[in-house]
Amino acid sequence: MGIIEYARTSIKENWSLFRRSRMGLLGLAILAFFAFLALLAPIPRLIDDMYHPMVGVDPEISYSTPPSLRHPMGTDFMGRDLLSQFLSGAQIAFAVGITAAVISVLIGTAIGLTSGYYGGKVDALLMRLADIVLVLPGLPFIIVIAAALGKMSIWIIVLLIALLGWPGVARVIRAQTLSLRERPFVEAARVAGAGDRRILLHHLAPNVLPLTFLYAALGVSGAILTEASLSFIGLGDPSVVSWGMMLQWAFTTGHTFRAPYWILPPGLAISLLSLSFYLVGRALEEIINPRLREP
């Protein structure tokens, strides 16, 4: 059974298990709320140019103001609308988190499958590479790279997060593959004349998909927090309005304690969106490991 066929046949069963998890449903609800906000992001700038999150400025305001009918979440130190920035930040959070997690998981899964299936020198080489990357301190390493480059685009940040996040996934997938390659169905595929590529893609990969989805969900939270941390300390992409960048602007302009309407929404959003992906990941973990399910 191929990957697509496997996904189609198991999705209904896995969804019925997922619905039993209160944590998973709560995480999914929070996730749906922020996804809705991200979809609303283009609307304010279509209403009026002053609602553009980066360059739009209210002509009547040149300082930070509290929430009003004209600006439901207030304005920043330049008179820019905070609601439009907040909605734009939701888009960036999803783009960064999901893209970095998917790239990281794809790399880790490919390396883990290859390492576990072939073994020997291939396994030793790939796992030593994973060990080297694994011991690198992720955030400090990215900070050093950012300081050396002076300025990084949001996609360079995404790539760095992904390239530092695959070793853990690779080691888990490798361990699973070492067990799966000894199963009778793999031996039967070899006897039937299946090549290594077909065995990897059509027999082993579908069986490690649940672990792949689990680590993808958990990886999104780490990517969102890493991007927000880099932006807050001034090493993010200044041309992109993210929640971390909103916090950085508030801090550098001295509004940390004077404008809670500016600080609290992005701070809470980062925490809640990261929590939602973690809760979804925990629910997926219960599906993979029946021993974790509630009796």
Backbone angle region of 74, left / alpha / beta, with phi > 0 → left and psi within -120 to 50 → alpha: left
Over 50: is that where the pLDDT of 2 sits? no
CA–CA dist 5, 203 (Å, integer): 11
* Matching CATH number, 21-37+82-292, of 3.30.365.10, 1.10.3720.10, 1.10.1740.10, 3.30.499.10: 1.10.3720.10
Write out the H or E segment, with its range, that includes residue 153.
none
Over 90: is that where the pLDDT of 35 sits? yes
CA–CA dist 24, 209 (Å, integer): 18
Q: Which two tokens stand for residue 192?
A: 């039937």
Over 60: is that where the pLDDT of 43 sits? yes
Q: Which two tokens stand for residue 25?
A: 């449903």
- CB neighbourhood size of 202 (10 A): 16
- pLDDT higher for 123 or 7? 123
In a 3-state reduction of DSSP, which class is residue 98?
A: helix
For 241, which DSSP code?
-
CA–CA dist 152, 43 (Å, integer): 28
Over 70: is that where the pLDDT of 224 sits? yes
CA–CA dist 293, 154 (Å, integer): 38
Percent of the chain with pLDDT over 90: 50
Yes or no: say if 235 and 146 are a contact pair by the CB < 8 Å rule: yes
Looking at the DSSP bridge assignments, the partners of residue 81 are: 75
Torsion of Cα atoms, 243 then 216 then 272 then 30, to 10°: 120
CA–CA dist 272, 230 (Å, integer): 19
- Environment class of 289 (CB within 10 Å of its CB; exposed 0-12, middle 13-18, buried 19+): exposed
Domain borders along the chain are 21-37+82-292
Over 80: is that where the pLDDT of 38 sits? yes
pLDDT of 4: 52
Chain segment 111-163, per-residue pLDDT in tens: 999 999 898 899 999 999 999 998 888 888 888 888 787 777 889 999 999 99
Lowest mean pLDDT among 88-92, 178-182, 219-223: 178-182
Chain segment 149-208, per-residue pLDDT in tens: 777 788 999 999 999 989 989 999 999 898 888 888 888 888 888 888 888 888 888 888
Q: What are phi and psi of 75, to 5 degrees?
A: -130, 160
Over 50: is that where the pLDDT of 3 sits? no
Lowest mean pLDDT among 7-11, 90-94, 139-143: 7-11
pTM: 0.87
Lowest mean pLDDT among 38-47, 58-67, 81-90, 132-141: 132-141
